[in-house]
Amino acid sequence: MCPPGFQDPKTATFHNVAAPTYAEAPEYGTFRTPGRNDYDSDVNNDLVTVTEDRDLKRGLAQRHLSMLGIAGAIGTGLFLGLGSAVQTAGPLGALLGYFTVGLVVCAVQFALGEVSALLPVTGSFVRHTEFLVDPALGFATGWNLVYGNLLSIPSEITAICVLFQFWTDLSPAIFIVIFIVLTVVIGIAFIRVYGEIEFIFAILKILLVVFLIIIGLVIDLGGIPGTPAIGGKFWRDPGPFVEHIAAGDWGKFLGYWSVMTGAVFSFAGVESLAMAAAETKNPRQAIPAACKRVFFRIVIFYVLAIVIVGLLVASNDERLNDSSSTAAQSPFVIAASAAGIPAIPSIVNAIVITSAWSSSNQGLLAGTRVLYGLALKKQAPSIFLRTTSWGVPYVCVLFFVPFMFLSFLTLSNAALTVFFWLVSLTAAGVLVSWSAILLNHVRLKLAMKQQGIPTESLPWHNSWTLYSSYAGLFMCLFILLTGGYEVFTEGNWDAQSFVSSYLDIPLVLAAYLIWKLLKKTKIVSLSDIPLEEAFKQAGQVPDDDPPVKKRSRTRWISWIWD
């Protein structure tokens, strides 16, 4: 045991002393460059490291995390993807598909919250995987997530191009450049600035979804003068399900299962709220609270939105076809146009554009923090540890910039075609990340049982989550392996679809095996996981500024994040 005020040189964890402040660290001009001793002391540490605790700034509050999760999940997948889901599976098939994935998200959120409350580190579940499973798997998961966000950011910028085509015929290149610049500016800004911007965007998204749900009910019930009531006629004709590839009940099931990939992409982002744990105030309180609240809000919004879409648009409506390559095929825009108010489609389109930009911002945050976490463990070049004087890993941000220009693929292909191609590539990576989160949680619970540590010792725990993690892990792997099943059916082989559905699997396996062979890592034995040190650190480092509950004039809306 080190005396108070000193570090244990083997673990670089803190004992009864606050971490060194940024002011105590050496500075080099505007940017903070880690010294060799800093870097080496972090390598074997699986908890909060010296470097991240000193160089990163805690600027995110619990309300930011809650809204980050909502902002990440309510994006282009909801506004552009639901029409395709209804067209493929029918209104009930789409509802069941999204509800199924919603249950998986529930398991993921609770697993992430329980582990992150104990280990609130930058890089979140990537670092957890090293600590609880195998350093090689942490390496593979981390670089897979970096790769996934390298693709998700241009996919969101591509969606912005789709949305602007609703208004103008100007070259998409103009909008690509504008939003690349905006995304980089937000990414390099102080984390609190990012949090406030995403907070506002999330509120806009929620207001839009609520507005669409209300206006959809009004239209469906015949509340618009001159527009007859629709009722549930589309559930009767053409019916609640759509037969896909095969006929009969089997075809209806395949339609339902085809929704899974799009649903996963739609929910992608909920796992990233813990990525910036070292930049979050009171992470052991804020992260579990955000995980719990985000899940219920998102499921409510998605379920209601899908029900409304199924009521307003028939599954065989030609306007849902992707051939238009504009936002006019969005079921929400179709519903708004049906209201007979010319301004509504433009209002919807404008907020959806902010939604897509918000999702690209979140992809940049998640990707850069994981890359920073990999650099802490010497699984990425040490140059990625360099931060600005306000605590942002600017080299990580700059690394992502060239890949944003993949958005220019829209100049030679239909924008919506590129969007859905990137959706498949991104969804596979999301499933790998969710699987890692659930596996981490299972390993933590099993290790605690073997080491005789009661579940109640966790900062946040639930009695049923071990079982939900097992079920969620099975579903994630099953969806990952069957996500591109259509290419194996007669007459439906497509090389592009096969690659976009399954490319991620060999990439992750290759990364895992390469790092395992190079570093000769081993799967950590349950009895050898240093949980005692983790619980000790959790108990020794008190949360700053404990939350104070107070009545607010904004409580009519603050229930979303409080």
Torsion sign over Cα 230, 233, 238, 241: positive
pTM of the model: 0.81
DSSP state for residue 139 in the 8-state scheme: H
Residue 382 lies in a domain: yes
Residues 483-496, mean pLDDT to the nearest whole number: 86
Domain membership flag for residue 473: yes
Domain of residue 71, residue span: 48-525
- Across the strands, what pairs with 7? 14
Specify if 22 maps to a domain.
no
Residue 479 has pLDDT above 90, yes or no: yes
In a domain, 10, yes or no: no
- The reply to whether 537 falls in a domain is no
**What length does the chain have?**
562
- The CATH number of residue 62's host domain is 1.20.1740.10
Q: Which stretches of 493-533 are assigned E, i.e. beta strand?
A: none
Please report whether residue 558 resides in a domain.
no
Radius of gyration of the chain (CA): 23
Task: Tell me the backbone φ, ψ of residue 28, rounded to 5 degrees.
Answer: -130, 95
Q: If you average pLDDT over every residue of the chain, what do you get?
A: 77
C-alpha–C-alpha distance, residues 319 and 334, integer Å: 8
Confidence of residue 554 (pLDDT cuts 50, 70, 90): low
- E strand or H helix that includes residue 369: helix 343-376
Distances, alpha carbon 269 to alpha carbons 134, 266, 491, in Å: 24, 8, 35
pLDDT at res. 215 = 83
Q: What angle do CA 272, 190, 46 make, to 5 degrees?
A: 50
Of 169 and 238, the structure prediction assigns the larger pLDDT to 238
User: To 5 degrees, how large is the angle CA 535–CA 538–CA 544?
Assistant: 170
Domain count, the chain: 1
Rounded CA separation 391/412 (Å):
39
For residue range 6-57, list pLDDT tens digits in order.
Answer: 333 333 333 333 333 333 333 333 344 444 444 444 444 445 455 555 555 5
Which amino acid, 220? D
Percent share of the chain, pLDDT over 70: 74
Q: What is the DSSP letter of 387?
A: E
List the one residue out of 59, 46, 70, 48 whose CA is nearest residue 560. Answer: 70
Q: Give me the residues paired with residue 458 across strands.
A: none
pLDDT digits (tens, 9 = 90+) for 336-376: 676 676 777 787 778 778 877 887 888 888 888 889 888 88
Which tokens go with 552?
């607010």
Residue 238: what are its φ and ψ, rounded to 5°? -85, 0
DSSP 277-291: GGGBSSHHHHHHHHH
Per-residue pLDDT, 562: 57
Residue 97 token pair: 């598909």
User: Are the C-beta atoms of residues 141 and 323 closer than 8 Å to each other?
Assistant: no
pLDDT in tens, 317-335: 877 765 544 556 677 677 6
The whole-number pLDDT of residue 516 equals 94
Say if 11 falls within a structural domain.
no
Of 503, 439, 77, the residue nearest 268 (C-alpha): 77
The tokens for 412 are 């030679």
pLDDT digits (tens, 9 = 90+) for 73-111: 676 667 667 888 888 999 999 999 999 998 998 899 899
pLDDT value for 164: 83
Helices assigned H by DSSP within 189-268: 191-220, 233-236, 248-258, 260-267
Residue 21 lies in a domain: no
